[in-house]
Amino acid sequence: MGNNFSSIPSLPRGNPSRAPRGHPQNLKDSIGGPFPVTSHRCHHKQKHCPAVLPGGGLPATPLLFHPHTKGSQILMDLSHKAVKRQASFCNAITFSNRPVLIYEQVRLKITKKQCCWSGALRLGFTSKDPSRIHPDSLPKYACPDLVSQSGFWAKALPEEFANEGNIIAFWVDKKGRVFHRINDSAVMLFFSGVRTADPLWALVDVYGLTRGVQLLDSELVLPDCLRPRSFTALPGPLHSGDILGLVVNADGELHLSHNGAAAGMQLCVDASQPLWMLFGLHGTVTQIRILGSTILAERGIPSLPCSPASTPTSPSALGSRLSDPLLSTCSSGPLGSSAGGTAPNSPVSLPESPVTPGLGQWSDECTICYEHAVDTVIYTCGHMCLCYACGLRLKKALHACCPICRRPIKDIIKTYRSS
């Protein structure tokens, strides 16, 4: 599956002088090791750091939207600080008017949200000078159209962050890692792999749910602000008998469940390396008990229920690396005390793990929202490139056509994976 895109024409340009690169300090994690370079999202503890680098400052030219190179659906105000998508859900790619500095935060405020679409803002950078890109050559989507071409890096912002009034700051460090922060929350590693040897322009795709954004004044952030102090803690107190489940997915995201309820992603790890669990007892928690582990089934592979006689089961499955975490309480009845150290009287039985959609050969993401799994067949061409929700919306659009072959869409058919 794939779209055929023509590369964006770019005229030859000189080698402009590179802006200051920022503080040369190396980033370390909380135990003195380097941050992983894989492109997974990472939560870091926020620090209150000065915004401007010592001995340097922002360029005299303010950071604005590029006035000419923009998608066909973009409306821009006279100040070049606010843009709005006038129709549809795509054709809304924009760029900055100048290269950004390393560690310069591009700060956006979401001014308009339209809830009838899936997917949200796409953020990133490009080494292609927008002034040398013809607007008519811009594709509909930053992801995957632009990022499939050399010199473009972008990723979708999770929908839960795309609320009106939210302020999103994103920046790139000297190692090519892109971080972002929502309002005053913790810093997160967004993605990596950006080539920083060349000048970089900000890339913003006003996509899907996001209808309008406004550029705020940019800031420089100290690299030390990214160093985590400690891991993220549970928002609520722990009690004797509580059960915690841990799972690492293929992107290195460690997700937590608390008594069967998902508690979100806690931190990120290098999933390409062997991993061992590290426990630290703090505060009123003085004793814990490991109930066991289970391997979560991948799509297309039959689920293997754990044997109570050999492995007492629990929600924790740190050793499994799946594309989606499965966080659920495994006990069929109340346990004694895990945090307090009292063991259950009998092994905890785990029902056969349900198979989550969107794994294995079905792990392709929808080409519209770029977040949900493909589960829909387009009639009559037969292509599978959409999730059902986006397929329904696309079918209702005027002159709806397949994103791959552009044949008219007569109907969409939701597909189901056999167990």
Per-residue pLDDT of the chain (419 residues; tens, 9 = 90+): 444 444 555 444 444 444 444 443 444 433 344 444 444 444 444 433 433 344 456 778 899 999 999 999 999 999 999 999 998 999 999 999 999 999 999 999 999 998 888 899 999 999 999 999 999 999 999 998 999 999 999 999 998 899 999 999 999 999 999 999 999 888 889 999 999 999 999 999 999 999 999 999 988 876 655 444 444 445 566 788 788 888 888 777 788 888 778 877 777 777 777 888 888 777 678 888 888 777 765 443 333 334 333 333 333 333 333 333 333 333 333 333 333 343 344 444 433 333 334 334 444 788 888 788 889 989 888 888 889 998 898 888 888 888 887 788 989 998 887 65
What is d(CA 122, CA 143) in angstroms, rounded to the nearest whole number? 7
Contacts of 168 (CB under 8 A, 6+ apart): 107, 108, 109, 110, 121, 123, 157, 161, 180, 181, 182
End-to-end, the C-alpha distance of the chain in Å comes to 24
d(CA 36, CA 193): 12
Q: Which residues pair with 107 in a beta bridge?
A: 169
pLDDT for 341? 40
What confidence score (pLDDT) does residue 284 get? 75
For residue 102, what are its two tokens?
């390393």
Tell me the three-class secondary structure of the chain, residue by residue: CCCCCCCCCCCCCCCCCCCCCCCCCCCECCCCCECCCCCCCEECCCCCCCCCCCCCCCCCCCCCEEEEEECCCEEECCCCCEEEECCCCCCCEEEECCCECCCEEEEEEEEEECCCCCCCCEEEEECCCHHHCCHHHCCCCHHHHHCCCCCEEEEECCHHHCCCCCEEEEEECCCCCEEEEECCCCCEEEECCCCCCCCEEEEEECCCCEEEEEECCCEECCHHHHCCCCCCCCCCCCCCCCCEEEEEECCCEEEEEECCEEEEEEEECCCCCCCCCCCCCCCCCCCCCCCCCCCCCCCCCCCCCCCCCCCCCCCCEEEEEECCCCCCCCCCCCCCCCCCCCCCCCCCCCCCCCCCCCCHHHCCECCCCCCCECCEEEECCCCCCECHHHHHHHHHCCCCECCCCCCECCEEEECCCCC
pLDDT of residue 419: 53
Distance CA(359)–CA(373), nearest Å, equals: 8
Other residues' Cβ atoms within 10 Å of the Cβ of residue 306: 21
Tokens representing 78 are: 């006279």
pLDDT for 334? 38
Q: Are 171 and 105 in contact (CB under 8 A)?
A: yes
pLDDT at 7: 52
| φ and ψ at residue 76, rounded to 5 degrees | -125, 140
Q: Contact 379/411 with Cβ under 8 angstroms?
A: yes
Give yes or no for a contact between 387 and 393, defined as CB atoms under 8 angstroms apart.
no
Residue 382 backbone class (left: φ over 0; alpha: ψ -120 to 50; beta: rest) = left
Query: Are 140 and 147 a contacting pair, CB within 8 Å?
Result: no
Going from the N-terminus, what domains does the chain have, and what CATH number goes with each?
42-226 (2.60.120.920), 231-356 (no CATH), 364-414 (3.30.40.10)
Q: Does residue 44 contact residue 186 with C-beta atoms inside 8 Å? A: yes
Q: Is 103 left (phi over 0), alpha (psi -120 to 50) or beta?
A: left
Instruction: Give the separation between CA 67 and CA 56, rounded to whole angstroms.
Output: 27
